[in-house]
Amino acid sequence: MFRKSLFILIIFIVASSLAFGQETYFGQNKVQYRGFSWDYIQTMHFDIYFYNQNYGLAKFAAGVLESSYVEISSQLNYRIHRRVPVFLYASPNDFQQTNIVPDLIDESVGGFTEAFKNRMVMPFDGSYEDFRHVLHHELTHAVIYDMLFGNMFSSLISRQRFFDLPLWFAEGFAEWSSRYGWDYYADMVVRDATINNYLAPPDYLGGYLAYKEGQAMIAYIVDNYGEQKLGEILAKGKLYLTMNKAMKASIGVTTEEFWKGFSKEMKRRYWPEIAKRKEPGEFSKALTNHEKDGSNFNEKPIFAPTGDKIAMFSDRSDYMGIYLISAVDGKILDRLVKGERTGDLESLHSYFSGITFSPDGKRIAFVAKAKGKDALYFLTIKDKNIYKKQFFHFNSVQSPVWSPDSKKIAFAALDGDRRTIAVYNVDTDSTYDLTEGNYDNLDPSWFPDSKILAFTSDRPHPDNAFIANNPEYKPADSVDYRTLYTKFGYGNYNLFTINIDSKEIEPLRVGIGQNREPSVSPDGKKVCFVSNRNGIDNLYIAYVDSSGAFAITDILTGVGSPTWSPDGKQIAFSSFNKAGFDIFLLKDIKPAGDNGQLAPTDFIMDRYLREVKSVASKDSTVSVKDTLPALAAKIDSGAAEESAQRDSGSVAQTAADSTHHDSTSVAHTTSDSTGTAKAKSDSTRVEGGEYIYVAPEQKKKENPMGKIFEDLPDSAAEGKNYLTPAEIAAFDSVGSSGRLPNGDFKVHKYRVKFTPDYVSGGFSYDTFFGLRGQSAFVFSDYLGDHQIYLITDLVNTIDQSNIQLFYLYNRLRTNFGFGVFHTKNYYIDNFDHLFSDRFYGFQGYLSYPFSKFSRVEFTGSQYFIDRKYLDSNDPRVGRSTKVALGTLSLVSDNILWGITTPINGQRARLNISGATDVLGGNGISFYSLDGDWRKYWHIRGLFSTALRFAGGASWGKNPKRYFLGGTTNSIGSVVVADNVYEPENLYFAEVVTPLRGFEYYELSGTRYLLSNLEFRYPFVEYLKLGFPLPMTLRYITGSLFYDMGATWDNDQTFKGGSSLGGNHLQDIKSAFGFGVQANLGFLVLRYDLAWRTNFQTVVPHPKYYFSLGAGF
């Protein structure tokens, strides 16, 4: 909401006075590459919006949301009071286009929940388990927002809006609830943080650690104080408005005391692991070191066919790139691809994709997002030339692998509501799918004959089925292997092979666990893969002609992305260690642990962090925990092996059509019907969103989760005493009326309906204006495609009032807007003469983005200015001015932000403007051309250098003036020259900053040049203040700067310097100094101290500035 209110303020300032505080605007673009036709369905508590052919995804989401809501409602002892709108995007690429929030959506964001309208927004990435997790995760936020803030109107005036729920609790609870307690990946992150001493106290948790350490904190609260305390903490937070008081009132300890107990428990739990397992550097050679090179991410290694080089992704330059390193010592040999700077390489999908070499080693292929769509890129290594870019019809593409015969490239692709393995023929440019059914298929790897692929899939696998069908099974060491699996029929991954000609699929019998990322050895006899079977992702090797596998690593944290050297004697891999990812080389490939068997972690030994219990009653249809035995019928391994070769059924579509099958509805079906049927022989089917094994002549068990959309179970229904009868009736009526007679949902068309995003206002009275009222409103539709901004400052009469009304349309690639405004301002000039301006007119705006990083803009305005001089002794005569102004701008921006300023990249803006009086009369007329270029170099950590060049010129009857001097948004009085108050300067001049050492408006002319050079560095890492302003500041930065600028008029001879009396600057003005910047969370506070110099003398007394906002 702060961003939107700030945007309103910017519009108000621009419309009211174009001169004061004017600043060059850059910024990156959210591009609408394609349009969507939205529909929605309604369940009892949710309105689920979808587009195109994604009805199946919406039905799947409906089941997940309603069942998850029962769990969350019980955990927090709360029932929501308003319906929750949910928006589903078919792919991450589509999701990044959303206008529901104005922020750019990073590739790492899997979903979000917006607080004011409580909108949940998420994409489908091909994994139904990831989709389920994100739906449940975001729903926890929606329930908490409803609990804390109520509806959008009451939240504006309620005192609990001042309760700032800390990130660790919000995200920690979301992870704890959606992961059903604890999970092995959280175990890995918190283990690494504990062992390497970067666990953070609650008040300082941020980033991804807030999710996983927060999850551990929530689990610690539940284990030590009880689950009921979670809702109580939130209730106390609403009352006391601080988390510290809420913790003390609910669990009896402050956050500091809580942290002491929690951190001690984590040390007790994880420090003994140091003696049991190894860090990656203890058994392999490190080829990268993120602590030394300043990177965070070195991932997805792949050996070159020559064996002496490795390609990888790395963010060592802050931007993701593809690097070529030595396979011997890790030395950087070359940077092949510079990503994330242009629209053609907007993203390299490094988090989940990969790189592949051609068999001759002369080329690589990789996937990149190019202007909203994924493409397969081909690059020659010698000259780093991208010689081909291949697009596909898929929603997204990842993990390409070049076949040994060089004719084909296999990859994983998101196609509608499934992720498939596809093959691209390099010679014919043809593409075909290999896998069928709505399973998640990924990580392809070729066998040497180029006819068979190994891949990962969550389709039924006999090794997984054994655990699912024998929930009572525990080996002698009491390992609970069920903790490795999801509680549903999807998301349990194992390894398979597929013949690309016959499309026959067979399971690789490599054992239990979540087995992923197969890498076939050069001789085709072995497969190296990642498995979490001991509770940690380790590398295993399996022989293709036999079953079982042995571990070759026994690591403290986790590994991934294995790749064989061409001779089959070494394996490169990536590992998470000390909060970053690095590349390692395993030279001695041999069994780890006890002859390839690893000691399980305490997590899967069930020694800590109890599992979240189901809340459903014995008659409940939504208990997910208790349905684990029903995930598959008991079958022998032979039947499972045969059935796993088939691709029949569909997760989403079967859920959509479940009433037309002779089947039983299961966990996430959206049908109200139940039944039993005789299964077809030797088949694998998907019923209602769950994978079901069906052995010959067996009947499926009656599913205990078949009525998911009937009334909620009694245990959850008790929460109805929190709702009014009208609210209960509203929920019940939609739940019963949202269905067709056949059980399907009624599909409704999305219609634009404006609701408020922001509302503020107030009244005041003074003896000059009398009674006046100020208000600001922002309205938008649910999708954010239409926005209305209304700002009013009403006085006695309309001609004394300030009103701005703007409409923005964001649905198309070309964004546009228009509006009208009227302001009345009073001024006192340097001679204490009072005058007023009535400034009004209308504006239009067009913006066409070429990509995320560049755009062209046009603004057109018609201004009317009525000047009146109000003092009787003022000899000046009032006048009316009419001006039509048009500006065409070209903007580029690919910068990355640091704490207080940009830290890397560059940005530029070129403006061409023209003003004239098209309505006739004696109006203002001018033309201008100005530009601004800024470049940033990140040195290391918080050290960086910034350079800026700007300049402009204006011509015409009333050429635009440029004022130089001071800093942007300076705090303090401003002394201006008389000519500033002339209409052509007050409303059309441009103030250019910073030129420190000089006053605001001190330099002016119709031409200007400005240069700024800064060295930026960390100044204070941690500052805690006491009385009278208790606050804590982190990472206060400093800067050393040199500013140089000049202004002159058209008829003036510019003379930069002079040698008279010694060499010195003349028309060019300059200053040097230092500054300090502090990010206060909601704004940046700057202090600068500058000394003027002309290269001959330096003024003895510096000029200081306090100002607000980020530096240039």
pLDDT value at 512 more than 80: yes
Asked whether 45 and 731 are in contact (CB, 8 A), the reply is: yes
Q: 606-618: per-residue pLDDT in tens?
A: 766 444 444 433 3
- Residues contacting 985, CB < 8 A, separation 6+: 19, 961, 979
Distances (CA, A) of 411 to 312, 324, 376, 737, 821: 17, 22, 10, 44, 54
Nearest partner of 1106 among 1069, 1075, 1065, judged by Cα: 1075
147-156, 219-228, 278-287, 963-972 — which is least confidently predicted? 147-156
Regarding beta strands 896-897 and 902-916, do their DSSP bridges make them parallel or antiparallel, or are they unpaired? antiparallel
Count other Cβ atoms within 10 Å, centred on residue 382.
Answer: 9
Per-residue pLDDT, averaged over 460-480, amounts to: 65
Give me the chain's average pLDDT, please: 84
pLDDT value at 358 more than 60: yes
pLDDT value at 130 more than 70: yes
Asked whether 62 and 100 are in contact (CB, 8 A), the reply is: no
Per-residue pLDDT, averaged over 926-945, amounts to: 96
Residue 171 backbone zone (phi > 0: left; psi -120 to 50: alpha; other: beta): alpha
What would the two tokens of residue 852 be?
């995320």
Q: What confidence tier does 771 reach under pLDDT thresholds 50, 70, 90?
A: low
1-15, 539-553, 802-816, 926-940 — which is least confidently predicted? 1-15
Enter the DSSP assignment of 920: -
Buried b (16+ CB within 10 A) or exposed e, 911-943: bebebbeeeeeebbbbbbebbbebbbebeeebe
pLDDT value at 470 more than 80: no
Q: What confidence tier does 124 reach under pLDDT thresholds 50, 70, 90?
A: very high
214-218, 261-265, 366-370, 790-794 — which is least confidently predicted? 790-794
Quote the strand ranges of 923-1063, DSSP E: 926-940, 943-955, 962-964, 970-971, 990-992, 1003-1005, 1007-1025, 1031-1048, 1057-1058
**How much is the pLDDT for 477?**
52
Tell me how far apart the alpha carbons of residues 161 and 311 are, in angstroms, rounded to a whole number. 50
Max Cα separation, the chain?
Answer: 107
Q: What DSSP string describes 832-865?
A: --EEEEEEEEEEEEEEEESSSSEEEEEEEEEEEE
pLDDT value at 725 more than 60: yes
538 or 628, greater pLDDT: 538
pLDDT value at 223 more than 80: yes
**How much is the pLDDT for 887?**
97
Tell me how far apart the alpha carbons of residues 75 and 71 are, in angstroms, rounded to a whole number. 6
* C-alpha count within 13 angstroms, C-beta hemisphere, residue 1099: 16
Q: 833-867: per-residue pLDDT in tens?
A: 899 999 999 999 999 999 999 999 999 999 999 99
Per-residue pLDDT, averaged over 478-504, amounts to: 84
Per-residue pLDDT, averaged over 1015-1022, amounts to: 92
Positive or negative torsion for Cα 31, 34, 35, 41: negative
Asked whether 903 and 896 are in contact (CB, 8 A), the reply is: yes
**How much is the pLDDT for 685?**
28
**How much is the pLDDT for 1059?**
79
Per-residue pLDDT, averaged over 559-569, amounts to: 97
Nearest partner of 1068 among 1047, 1091, 1084, judged by Cα: 1047
Q: 1055-1112: per-residue pLDDT in tens?
A: 888 878 788 899 999 999 999 999 987 889 999 999 999 999 999 999 999 999 899 9
pLDDT value at 469 more than 80: no
The CA-based angle 33-38-44, given to 5 degrees, is: 140
Is the peptide bond between 696 and the residue preceding it cis, with omega within 30 degrees of 0? no
Tell me how far apart the alpha carbons of residues 176 and 157 are, in angstroms, rounded to a whole number. 31
Nearest partner of 673 among 652, 658, 651, judged by Cα: 658
Tell me how far apart the alpha carbons of residues 316 and 336 are, in angstroms, rounded to a whole number. 14
What would the two tokens of residue 818 be?
């228009």
pLDDT value at 162 more than 90: no
Tell me how far apart the alpha carbons of residues 652 and 997 are, in angstroms, rounded to a whole number. 66
Per-residue pLDDT, averaged over 388-396, amounts to: 95
Q: Which domains does the chain have, with CATH numbers?
A: 2-28+813-1108 (2.40.160.50), 38-276 (1.10.390.10), 280-586 (2.120.10.30), 630-687 (no CATH)
Per-residue pLDDT, averaged over 123-133, amounts to: 96
Residue 1015 backbone zone (phi > 0: left; psi -120 to 50: alpha; other: beta): beta
Name the residue type at position 447: F
Tell me how far apart the alpha carbons of residues 20 and 14 are, in angstroms, rounded to a whole number. 9
pLDDT value at 749 more than 70: yes
pTM score, whole prediction: 0.85
Count other Cβ atoms within 10 Å, centred on residue 52.
Answer: 14
Distances (CA, A) of 299 to 281, 313, 350, 446: 16, 5, 8, 20
Helix, strand, coil % over all residues of the chain, rounded to 5: 20, 40, 40
Tell me how far apart the alpha carbons of residues 892 and 888 are, in angstroms, rounded to a whole number. 14
159 or 320, greater pLDDT: 320
**How much is the pLDDT for 903?**
95
Q: 577-620: per-residue pLDDT in tens?
A: 999 999 999 999 999 999 999 999 988 887 664 444 444 333 33
What whole-number percentage of the chain has pLDDT above 70? 83
Tell me how far apart the alpha carbons of residues 867 and 877 are, in angstroms, rounded to a whole number. 9
200-204, 499-503, 1021-1025 — which is least confidently predicted? 1021-1025
83-97, 367-381, 704-718 — which is least confidently predicted? 704-718
**How much is the pLDDT for 193?**
95
pLDDT value at 897 more than 90: yes
- What is the 3-state secondary structure of 396-442? EEEEEEECCCCCEEEEEEEECCEEEEEEEECCCCCEEECCCCCCEEE
736 or 907, greater pLDDT: 907
What would the two tokens of residue 578 be?
């000390």
What would the two tokens of residue 929 be?
């051309």
**How much is the pLDDT for 1004?**
93
Selection from 20-34, 296-310, 704-718, 1081-1095 with the highest mean pLDDT: 296-310
Per-residue pLDDT, averaged over 995-1023, amounts to: 93
pLDDT value at 6 more than 60: no
- Residues contacting 778, CB < 8 A, separation 6+: 4, 5, 8, 756, 757, 758, 759, 787, 788, 789, 790
Positive or negative torsion for Cα 702, 707, 708, 711: negative
**How much is the pLDDT for 373?**
94
Q: What confidence tier does 68 reach under pLDDT thresholds 50, 70, 90?
A: very high
Asked whether 644 and 461 are in contact (CB, 8 A), the reply is: yes
Buried b (16+ CB within 10 A) or exposed e, 871-904: eeeeeeeeeebbbbbeeebebbbbbeebbbbbbb
Cα torsion at 7, 9, 10, 11 (round to 10°)?
Answer: 90
Per-residue pLDDT, averaged over 259-264, amounts to: 96
Count other Cβ atoms within 10 Å, centred on residue 739.
Answer: 18
451-460, 548-557, 1057-1066 — which is least confidently predicted? 1057-1066
Provide the angle, in degrees to the nearest 10, between the axes of the packed helices 184-195 and 255-270. Answer: 100
Q: Which residue has the tokens 């300890």?
A: 253
pLDDT value at 683 more than 90: no
**How much is the pLDDT for 681?**
29
**How much is the pLDDT for 825?**
87
